[in-house]
Amino acid sequence: EMSEISEKSKQNVAHGLAWSYYVGYLKIVLPRLKKSMEEFSRANPNLPACRKTWKLHILVPLNCDVYDDLEKADSNIHYVTDLTETILARAGTKKRAYKHSLYAIMDEENQLWHCAVEYATPLQSLYAMSQDECAAFSREERLEQAKLFYRTLEEILKGSKECADAYRLIAYEEPEEAETHFLSREIVWHLRQEHHEEIAVLEGNHPHTPSTTLNSAELNLQISVSDLPQPLRSDGF
């Protein structure tokens, strides 16, 4: 009965996508990210190094509108290079490559901020499902699924010691009226917060951790305790 209720409400879709994204990707790449950033920083000493920004910035647009080319999403976002690849044998594929792209984000004062940034790829699946008659996803259901995906992923990552301080979720809603540099401003806001955190630590202060642009409470999604992801376990089950 519970399975039928979950299937009808489609809650299992967002949960499954979030867990698959974590287990099949984030848990693999995030523990290795800082090493890649350190290698890049040593090879490029001319670029400013803010260690607090040495994390993967994961974009979560709640409308599930994902661009394959970030430079086309916002002209203030410029591709710089790819970080060092992680090569692993995975599910029968030998030498599978995982890599991240480094971007320079220009702010309103023409200052450049460098960071690794990419979209949460499962949102592409949610968008595709809303366009497929077989999935029967309405636009409203897609929005609720995107919110649930974000909440679930947030809870999973909070419980993951391997991924601690190696990511930043950037959830946002696109403005009703198109803004040319909306995305770059969103990213820069987070980079500035991280930069302020690093300065505070160096000065011996104890900065509070700023919330993301849209935090869990602001997503306005009612989720019961039983709907939330279960705590991660280390016993292999």
Per-residue pLDDT reduced to its tens digit, 72-127: 999 999 999 999 888 888 888 888 889 999 999 999 999 999 999 999 999 999 88
pLDDT tens digits, 1-55 = 444 544 455 557 899 999 999 999 999 999 999 889 888 888 887 776 678 889 9
The whole-number pLDDT of residue 3 equals 44
CB 102 within 8 A of CB 114: yes
Domains in the chain: ranges and CATH? 12-203 (3.40.50.12100)
Rounded to the nearest 10 degrees, the angle between the axes of helix 122-131 and helix 139-158 is 160
What is the chain's mean pLDDT, rounded? 81
Interhelix angle 11-21/122-131, rounded to 10 degrees, is 150
In terms of Cα–Cα distance, which of 96, 112, 91 is closest to 29?
A: 96
Res 136 pLDDT > 80 = no
Give all strands (DSSP E) within the chain, no chain letters. Answer: 56-61, 77-82, 86-90, 93-98, 101-106, 112-119, 167-172
Question: Quick one: 45 exposed, middle or buried, by C-beta within 10 A (0-12, 13-18, 19+)?
Answer: exposed
Band (pLDDT 50/70/90 cuts) for residue 207 is very low
Per-residue pLDDT, averaged over 113-142, amounts to 85
Residue 220 has pLDDT above 90, yes or no: no
| Other CB atoms within 10 A of residue 225 CB | 5
* Burial tier of 175 (Cβ tally within 10 Å: 0-12, 13-18, 19+): exposed
Give the per-residue pLDDT at 43.
Answer: 86
Give the max Cα distance, the chain. Answer: 61
Cα distance between residue 142 and residue 14, in whole Å? 10
Cβ contacts of 82 within 8 Å, gap of 6 or more: 99, 100, 101, 102
Q: Give 35 or 153, the one with higher predicted confidence.
A: 153
